Amino acid sequence: MERRDNHFYPTYFLTIRSTDPPYDSPNMFKVGSIFIPVTDIEKSTAWYQKHLGAKKIESWEDGAGFYLPIGSTQLTLVKVESPQSTEFIIKDNQKNSYYNFVVDNIETPHQHFKNNGIATTEINAFGVSITND
């Protein structure tokens, strides 16, 4: 993330490996990492490890990198000075998340969150939304 005018803007990186398909391949991209703004790295690290099973790869002064046991996309927690929205507004003032997590059985994590005092919406056609204060 790049900081300009007291705002953070996403920075996009492409990492090319020798095993990547040729550039003219329609399958040449995949998501490498999702950058999540947090105000407290230690508290957020503990939350992602406990509730999402994230495994720490490395940490540094203003961030920490993780992987999830399933899939290859990494998560990066980036320290920010004030809370940042992880949602954007679409038509009719409806909120949409920048990213989501996929599970095979929505009931199990939903119950896990509720049992651990994490505010959640009820299960609906779009899944579940959680709020971590």
**pLDDT reading at 9 higher than 60:** no
pLDDT for res 43: 96
d(CA 16, CA 25): 14
- Class of domain 2-83 as given by CATH: alpha beta
Q: Where are the domains of the chain?
A: 2-83
**pLDDT reading at 4 higher than 60:** no
d(CA 131, CA 133): 6
Cα-based torsion angle of the residue sequence 89, 85, 99, 23 in order, rounded to the nearest 10 degrees: 90
Question: Is this model's pTM higher than 0.75 or not?
Answer: no
pLDDT for res 114: 92
